[in-house]
Amino acid sequence: MIPIAKTLKTLTAAVFAGGLALGGTPAHAQVASSAADAFNLPEDISFIGNTDPNMRRATARVNGSIITGTDIDHRIALLLEGNNQELSPEEEQAVRLQVLRNLIDETIQVQEAIALEMPVDQDEVESAYNQYALELRNMPVEQLDEHLRSIGSSRRSVMRQIQGELAWERLLRRNVIPFVGVSDTEVEELVKRLEASRGTAEYRLGEIFLAAAPATRETVLANAQQMVSQLRQGASFVNYARQFSEASSAAAGGDLGWLRLEQLQNPQLETIAREMVPGQLVGPVEIPGGFSILLMIDKRQIGMADPRDAILSLKQIGIEFAPDTSPEIAEARGTAFIEAVDTMRGCGDADAKAAAIGATTVDNDGIAVRALPEALQGVLLGLNIGQASPPFGDLTEGIRVLMLCGRDDPAPVATPNAQQIAAQIEDERVGKRAQRYRRDLRRDAVIEYN
């Protein structure tokens, strides 16, 4: 079961960008070719009539329920909230098609829950929406309603999405989760492997998976490439994963949580992720069944405290240069500043010597290493108490150093217990079965496009 609080949390936006794109793999091409043989398709295909039916299929009727153009517009506005980049006509068309597919899935899920006599009633949706507004948006409900209208979305659009997610949770609890089991032997073996791997790398990855069949490969690839382009321009990875990903991690904004690369069960993705750095985006990567877009959220050592969680007490010492300062005077003052810093004997000595040369000091007694720019993190972690970082800045605006006045190291990290490990294995298996379940629902649905 995915708690309502977790479901609501994925409605918030988190922006990630950066990284390098990697192409596909010949291995998948062989799998696709093998699958296509079952249809006995000719090599030279001639289409009859319009080769792009999606250009006229803007809305749909799903088992009698209508999805309107307004529904799509409101969901796109929610998806692109905070993204100041304009979509090209091609990108906008791809996003509209993806949103329509997502709305179709939500509609099917709600209908299936009703058919199995466990519908999500309006009071539940209202309660979840109110909780989302107050706890995750930090807004009164009325203010959130107005905000959604201001960005071109609506309260109804968010509530529809919440209803779809709650319906899906019920379907999984009834038709999937009871049939997934994890044995004590499996858990014991994984505990042993975790203990043996203590000190090795563990990764927190974000994932967007787009399923593709041989007939849809090129279209899905083009959509994935446009999605990556938008993510690199500042679009929210969490929102895109939640709207478009067909993996079970979609409900958590694509977040796979902390894992070892072997748990990906894909040697190609293991190799790619091992070389990624936090904040890097890679994809689309072709894998069996479709395309994957990966975001490296963070890295750490298994069973070891992350040094970046240390809390530092820092003193910033700096000088500034007036706009009309000549290069010669700036260089002389900069040299004098660096020489004075070299004579300082810890933080207790810094204030007086800084004042003597016209420098200023600023204290911060509770800053986490990971909150600092990456270029400074390694430098500060290598300092002893009372030492200063190398000077940084320039001779036009000013020069600064950071002096380490104190450091509180993080507590040791405990190995996950058997219950946590069993839950993780179960989540992975539920995810795979859920994907098959959703595919079956799509296959049985009657969908009319307008």
* Side-chain half-sphere CA neighbours of 398 within 13 A: 12
Instruction: Give the CA angle between residues 373, 344, 364 to the nearest 5°.
Output: 40
Query: To the nearest whole percent, how much of the chain has pLDDT over 70?
Result: 83
Which ranges of 80-121 would DSSP assign to H, the alpha helix? 89-115
- Four-CA torsion 350, 356, 360, 366, nearest 10 degrees: 10
Q: Please check the confidence at residue 302 and state whether its pLDDT lies above 80.
A: no
Rounded to whole angstroms, the Cα distance separating 291 from 213 reads 10
User: What pLDDT does residue 130 have?
Assistant: 93
| Structure confidence at residue 7 (pLDDT) | 41
Residue from 256, 71, 175 nearest 440 by CA: 175
Helices 237-244, 217-232: axis angle to 10 degrees equals: 160
Q: Where residue 266 falls among pLDDT bands split at 50, 70, 90?
A: confident
Above 90 in pLDDT, residue 304? no
Average pLDDT over residues 343-347: 88
Q: Give CA separation, 268 vs 19, 68, 261, 273, 295, in Å.
A: 17, 40, 10, 9, 15
Q: Higher confidence at residue 384 or residue 21?
A: 384
> Which helix (H) or strand (E) segment is 26 a member of?
helix 26-36
Whose tokens are 């043996």? That residue is 196
| DSSP bridge partners of 201 | 301
Do 282 and 21 touch, CB atoms closer than 8 A?
yes
More confident residue, 416 or 273: 273
Confidence of residue 33 (pLDDT cuts 50, 70, 90): very low
What is the 3-state composition of the chain as percent helix, strand, coil, each rounded to the nearest 5? 50, 20, 30
End-to-end CA distance of the chain: give it in Å, rounded.
36
The pLDDT assigned to 252 comes to: 81
Task: Please report the pLDDT score of residue 48 as a whole number.
Answer: 55
What are the b/e assignments for 6-42, b being 16+ CB within 10 Å? ebbbbbebeebbebeebeeeeebeeebeeeeeeeeee
Which of the two residues, 103 and 16, has the higher pLDDT score? 103
Q: Are 319 and 337 in contact (CB under 8 A)?
A: yes
101 vs 8, higher pLDDT: 101
**Predicted local confidence at residue 13, as pLDDT:** 32
pLDDT at 303 over 70: no
Q: What is the mean pLDDT of residues 197-221?
A: 85
Q: According to the model, what pLDDT value does residue 122 have?
A: 93
Range with the lowest mean pLDDT among 35-39, 125-129, 378-382? Answer: 35-39
Tell me the Ramachandran region of residue 358: left when phi exceeds 0, alpha when psi lies from -120 to 50, beta otherwise: left
Global pTM reads 0.50
- Report the pLDDT value the prediction gives residue 40, as an integer from 0 to 100: 58
85's tokens: 């980049």
Tell me the per-residue pLDDT of 321-331, one tens digit each, with 9 for 90 and over. 888 888 888 88
pLDDT digit string (tens) for 219-250?
899 989 988 988 888 888 888 888 888 887 88
Average pLDDT, the chain: 81
User: Among 1-10, 137-146, 153-162, 284-293, which stretch is predicted with the lowest mean pLDDT?
Assistant: 1-10
The 3-state DSSP class for residue 122 equals helix
- Kindly provide the residue ranges of all beta strands, DSSP E only, lying in 23-170, ordered along the sequence: 60-62, 65-67
Token couple for 13: 């936006």
Apex 145 CA angle, 144 and 151, nearest 5:
85
d(CA 317, CA 322): 17
Q: Given strand 201-211, what is the order of strands in its sheet? A: 255-259, 201-211, 290-301, 281-287
Please give the average per-residue pLDDT across 154-170, as a whole number. Answer: 93
Q: Which residues pair with 406 in a beta bridge?
A: 313
- Asked whether the predicted pLDDT for residue 143 surpasses 50, the reply is yes
Q: Which two structure tokens, joined as six digits, stand for 236?
A: 């929210």
Pick the more confident residue, 34 or 39.
39
pLDDT of amino acid 281: 93
pLDDT at 168: 93
Cβ atoms of residues 151 and 389 within 8 Å: no
Query: Cβ–Cβ contacts within 10 Å for residue 341, how many?
Result: 23
What's residue 34's pLDDT? 43
What is the rounded average pLDDT of the residues 193-204? 74
